[in-house]
Amino acid sequence: MVVINLRDSNAVYSQGDEVVGQVIYHDSTSTGSPVRVIVELVGFTKTKVKVLNGRHYETRREQADILQVTVADMQGTFTVWPFSFYFPSTASPLDPNILDSKPPINHIGTSAPLQPLPPTYEKVAGLHSDLNMWDCSIEYKVRASVVPPGASPPLLQQEIAVNFQPRLEPQFSYEQEDRSREVSEASKSLCAKSLVLLPENKDRKLTLIEKTKSVFQSSKLPSFNFRVVSIQPTRINLAQNIHFTIRIEVSPETSSVSEIPTFKLVYFGHHITGETKAWAGGAADIGGGEEMVFCTANEDMGEFQSAWRYTKTIRTPPITHAIPTFKAPNVTRRYVLTSFAGVQCAGQIFRVDNKAEVTILPAVRGLILPDTPAVDFSMFKQPEAEWKDGEETPQSQKGAKMSGFSLCKE
């Protein structure tokens, strides 16, 4: 019997974190012959797409390797085999173990730059309007193989799942960078026309007759042109505030009024939608689904302060429960950020909308994510074993073959 035991079986690992464990092997043959124990860290994606083919549903499955690295290679006659390694940050340069995947897998091969590892992920999409039923997952496992002398296939093999969630080092916090470099900007050119803009009507409300007159004689009303600009980020960090900017640019040369009235931001809101797509067996077999990830709305945001150029910065609560944006061989996760704002001037409310794809980056290392989704590993459970302080493996027989990635240690 072979069992893998991790020091902390419930840990959530990030790149550079140390994984400490041991392999416990009981030789049922009692031959006492030396064996070779190989410990590997493997990662892969799994997708299943159920599509309607004529009158019947057809299920297609696909698996793609994204990581396979030997972290320990030991030989001896011991019962307890300790090992430790640092979690990598990039995928292995593997030939993908995948059939007929669309779009083509071209970012994992040896000729392409190594991609960041996607997080542990599991999604069951269910039934959608396109009659596709699908699910997908990204899994990481520590695998132990016991190979007897002279044997090529393993005699015994066992795996245990590990949870990987990438983190960013503090110096890579996007909130600390110049946020003007990567933004989405939407604008709307508008014209304010109202009797309120006349000096004698300043600071008073129009009567119903005056309002009706304004509707039918709008061409004779005093007016001025302005532009409302909405600026939102295209990259955000988990667990950090999101910054928006609403800017108003008045064109004084087109104004027929002596004084520009006060602008007021009366409402602002935004929402983020997430979409997961999975491929299996060809381009036609695509599973996808959107869901609301985060939504907030605020009212009565206060007046702008300026003469001809008005700017207001809005800081909204952070997102804590989303999976970072990722691209795997046959699974992708993307997000769209939509914001809207209402600006009031001269008794009128003008709205501007902004919608663009946003990249959600991992949280900065050290920040607490209270709503991080839990990953259920019950399906991967193996016989439990207590941590054993067994005989230490002699230094001469210890081996650690860290192929496929560079050590990343804090």
- Nearest Cα to Cα of residue 222 among 253, 191, 251, 262: 191
- Nearest Cα to Cα of residue 265 among 196, 341, 346, 347: 341
The DSSP result for 102-154, as a single string, is SS---SSSTTSPPPBPPPPEEEEEEE-TTS-EEEEEEEEEEEEEEE-TT-SS-
Amino acid 214: pLDDT: 63
Beta carbons within 8 Å of 113's beta carbon, 6+ residues apart:
107
Amino acid 104: pLDDT: 36
Amino acid 219: pLDDT: 65
- Nearest Cα to Cα of residue 223 among 187, 266, 184, 253: 253
Average pLDDT, the chain: 75
* 3-state SS class at 254: helix
Amino acid 76: pLDDT: 86
Question: How does pLDDT run across 289-304, given as a tens digit for each residue?
Answer: 677 777 777 655 666 6
Asked if the model's pLDDT at residue 310 lies above 70, the reply is yes
Question: How does pLDDT run across 324-333, given as a tens digit for each residue?
Answer: 999 888 888 9
Going by the DSSP 8-state scheme, the letter that residue 395 receives in this structure is G
Q: Evaluate whether 47 touches 330 at the Cβ level (below 8 Å).
A: yes
Asked if the model's pLDDT at residue 396 lies above 90, the reply is no
Q: Which residue has the tokens 């997908």?
A: 136
Higher pLDDT, 394 or 225: 225
The answer to whether domain 2-165+373-397 has CATH 2.170.120 is no
Peptide bond preceding 103 in cis form (omega within 30 of 0): yes
Beta strands in 326-386 (DSSP E): 326-327, 331-345, 348-361
Bridge partner residues of 47 (DSSP): 62, 136
Cα(400)–Cα(41) distance, integer angstroms: 12
**264, two tokens:** 């007021």
Cα(106)–Cα(95) distance, integer angstroms: 10
Q: Evaluate whether 279 touches 62 at the Cβ level (below 8 Å).
A: yes
The answer to whether domain 172-361 has CATH 3.90.1150.10 is no
Question: How does pLDDT run across 34-59, given as a tens digit for each residue?
Answer: 888 999 999 999 988 877 777 887 88
Global pTM value: 0.75
The answer for 358, left when phi > 0, alpha when psi is -120 to 50, beta otherwise, is: beta
Cα(340)–Cα(219) distance, integer angstroms: 29
Q: So where are the chain's domains?
A: 2-165+373-397, 172-361
**Residues for the chain: how many in total?**
410
3-state SS string for 204-231: CCCCHHHHHHHHHCHHHCCEEEEEEEEE
Higher pLDDT, 202 or 39: 39
Amino acid 294: pLDDT: 72
